[in-house]
């Protein structure tokens, strides 16, 4: 608007003096430990087991998970490199896009259980190839459609709702698994900087603003520690 004033396009700045609305914290929805176990039981031994396990233990987003390639996984050192995500873009369809910042393009450590489930995913893919036959399209994706092509996010959403019903969990978004991972990390005492790095947030401020208010136990732990300090 100030630039428009300089160009002579406006006689005055119409937003000068406008008050910025107060920032409201969005409600963070997540799953309990029991619900996570029920969810994983519902996808056990399917091509969706590793996907959901990684979602609740790494905090990777849906697009990042669907963009994973087996070349991104270092099975010897328990690491996964995040360097693309799958997105549906209007008039372009499903495409792989690279992260815009180095924070988003990152390397995440995996636990032994995660590696075991990714190894099991390889066996599941081999069986899928046999079932698909000539329809199979090799793309080296970790998580894919029944014929090896990139997984349609909308189909994943529908399947996720089916899984929730099977596990007797109320309706959730797949993105809530990312919130679940973040909250679990905080509850386990993981340093906020590490949580930020695993989630790929551009700054630690975003991480703290998003999750610190959603975990009352952090406040209680601080109060307890201060009490113990001055006893």
Residue 195 pLDDT class (50, 70, 90 cuts): very high
Residue 4 covered by a domain: no
Residue 185 covered by a domain: yes
Residue 11 covered by a domain: no
CATH of the domain at 214: 1.10.443.10
Of 182, 149, 191, 192, which Cα lies nearest the Cα of 61? 182
Question: Which residue range is the domain that position 63 belongs to?
Answer: 27-229
Q: Give the separation between CA 153 and CA 144, rounded to whole angstroms.
A: 10
Percent of the chain, pLDDT > 90?
A: 67
Which 3 state secondary structure label does DSSP give 215?
A: coil
Q: How many domains does the chain have?
A: 1
Whether the Cβ atoms of residue 160 and residue 55 lie closer than 8 Å to each other: no
pTM of the model: 0.83
The secondary structure of residue 12, as a DSSP letter, is S
Q: What is the pLDDT of residue 99?
A: 77
Place of tokens 């930020």: 196
Residue 158 covered by a domain: yes
Q: What is the pLDDT of residue 23?
A: 63
Q: What is the pLDDT of residue 220?
A: 77
Beta-carbon-side half-sphere exposure of residue 226 (alpha carbons within 13 Å): 6
Residue 102 covered by a domain: yes
Does 11 have pLDDT greater than 90? no
Q: What is the pLDDT of residue 2?
A: 87
pLDDT tens digits for 126-181?
999 999 999 999 999 999 999 999 999 999 999 999 999 999 999 999 999 999 99
Does 46 have pLDDT greater than 80? yes
Sign, CA torsion 183/172/48/197: negative
The secondary structure of residue 143, as a DSSP letter, is S
In terms of Cβ atoms closer than 10 Å to its own Cβ (0-12, 13-18, 19+), residue 224 is exposed
Residue 170 covered by a domain: yes
Q: Give the separation between CA 12 and CA 2, rounded to whole angstroms.
A: 9
Tokens of 174: 């797949």
Residue 22 covered by a domain: no
Q: Give the separation between CA 47 and CA 64, rounded to whole angstroms.
A: 17
Residue 12 covered by a domain: no
Residue 213 pLDDT class (50, 70, 90 cuts): confident
């Amino acid at each position: 608007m100030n630039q428009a004033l300089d160009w002579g396009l406006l006689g005055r700045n119409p937003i000068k003096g406008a008050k910025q609305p107060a920032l409201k914290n969005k409600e963070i929805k997540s799953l309990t430990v029991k619900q996570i176990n029920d969810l994983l039981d519902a996808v056990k031994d399917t091509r969706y087991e590793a996907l959901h396990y990684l979602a609740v233990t790494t905090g990777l987003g849906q697009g990042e998970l669907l963009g994973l390639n087996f070349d991104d996984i270092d099975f010897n050192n328990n690491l996964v490199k995040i360097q693309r995500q799958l997105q549906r873009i209007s008039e372009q369809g499903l495409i792989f896009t690279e992260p815009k910042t180095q924070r988003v393009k990152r390397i995440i450590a995996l636990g032994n259980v995660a590696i075991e489930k990714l190894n099991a995913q390889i066996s599941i893919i081999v069986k899928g190839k046999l079932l698909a036959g000539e329809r199979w399209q090799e793309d080296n994706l970790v998580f894919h459609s029944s014929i090896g092509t990139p997984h349609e996010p909308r189909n994943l959403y529908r399947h996720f709702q089916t899984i929730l019903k099977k596990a007797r969990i109320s309706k959730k978004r797949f993105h809530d698994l990312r919130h679940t991972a973040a909250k679990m990390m905080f509850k386990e005492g993981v340093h906020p900087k590490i949580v930020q790095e695993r989630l790929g947030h551009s700054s630690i401020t975003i991480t703290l603003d998003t999750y610190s208010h959603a975990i009352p136990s952090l406040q209680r732990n601080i109060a307890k520690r201060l009490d113990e300090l001055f006893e």
